[in-house]
């Protein structure tokens, strides 16, 4: 956090910081290095006090998958987070923002052995090459067992816990 005070002639006013009601130092800036949870931060200078509520809690994420964990040909997944942006990754590959299905954000994400072609890209590909690949790439079907991890990141940059499911895709 940073506070910029006015500069009256002859001196710069001192800023006193307090975290959760306890004195936390002086100066124009403050680094919050606290445990998770909500905290109250105040800066007082020249008789004026400013107060912030600081969110240091990671967002929660829920996943909706069909029952079982063993699927024939394809399966869907929907992620929800009331206070963050969900992300997912498959088999330790890079994180992908979850926006639902590319042609319908209200629809769940569809995973298939070779992906589904939409506007020149194949989405939901479980074969080699990653989740989103060119339809011109040779793709071996991604049958077998896969680990899907998911999490959310909120507007404050807090990363929620990573959870995972294991799915098996059969021909």
Q: What is the DSSP string of the chain?
A: -B------TT-----EEEETTEEEEESSB------SSEEEEEEEETTEEEEEEEE--PPP-EEE--SSSEEES-EEEEEE-TTSEEEEEETT---EE--SBTTBTTSPEEEBSS-EEETTEEESB-STT-SSB-TTS------EEEEEEEEEE-TT-PBPPPEEEEEEEE-
* Per-residue model confidence as pLDDT tens digits over 116-150: 888 888 888 888 777 776 767 777 889 999 999 99
Residue 83 pLDDT grade (very low, low, confident, very high; cuts 50, 70, 90): confident
- The predicted model gives 84-101 an average pLDDT of 93
- The predicted model gives 64-70 an average pLDDT of 87
Question: Does the pLDDT at position 162 exceed 90?
Answer: yes
CA separation for the pair 171, 166 (Å, rounded): 17
Question: Does the pLDDT at position 17 exceed 70?
Answer: yes
Q: Which two tokens stand for residue 74?
A: 């394809």
CA separation for the pair 8, 13 (Å, rounded): 8
Q: What is the mean pLDDT of the chain?
A: 85
CA separation for the pair 164, 63 (Å, rounded): 9
CATH number of 62-170: 2.60.40
Residue 97 pLDDT grade (very low, low, confident, very high; cuts 50, 70, 90): very high
Question: Does the pLDDT at position 11 exceed 90?
Answer: no
* Per-residue model confidence as pLDDT tens digits over 100-116: 999 999 999 999 998 88
Question: Does the pLDDT at position 71 exceed 90?
Answer: yes
Residue 76 pLDDT grade (very low, low, confident, very high; cuts 50, 70, 90): very high
Domain map (residue ranges) of the chain: 16-55, 62-170
CA separation for the pair 136, 100 (Å, rounded): 24
| Entry pTM | 0.72
Residue 93 burial (CB count, 10 A): 12
Question: Does the pLDDT at position 32 exceed 70?
Answer: no
Q: 160: exposed, middle or buried (C-beta count within 10 Å: 0-12, 13-18, 19+)? A: buried
């Amino acid at each position: 956090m940073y506070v910029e005070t006015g500069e009256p002639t002859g001196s710069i006013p001192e800023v006193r910081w307090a975290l959760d009601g306890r004195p936390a130092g002086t100066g124009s800036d403050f680094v919050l290095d606290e445990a998770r949870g909500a905290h109250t931060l105040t800066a007082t200078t020249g008789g004026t006090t400013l107060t912030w509520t600081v969110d240091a809690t990671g967002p929660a994420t829920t996943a909706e998958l069909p029952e079982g964990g063993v699927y024939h040909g394809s399966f869907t997944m929907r992620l929800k987070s009331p206070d963050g942006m969900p992300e997912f990754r498959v088999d330790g590959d890079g994180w992908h923002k979850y926006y639902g299905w590319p042609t319908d954000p209200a629809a769940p994400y569809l995973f298939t052995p070779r992906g589904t072609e939409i506007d020149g890209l194949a989405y939901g590909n479980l074969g080699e090459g990653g989740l989103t690949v060119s339809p011109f790439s040779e793709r071996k079907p991604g049958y077998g067992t896969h680990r899907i991890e998911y999490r959310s990141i909120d507007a404050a940059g807090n990363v929620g816990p990573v959870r995972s499911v294991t799915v098996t895709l059969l021909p």
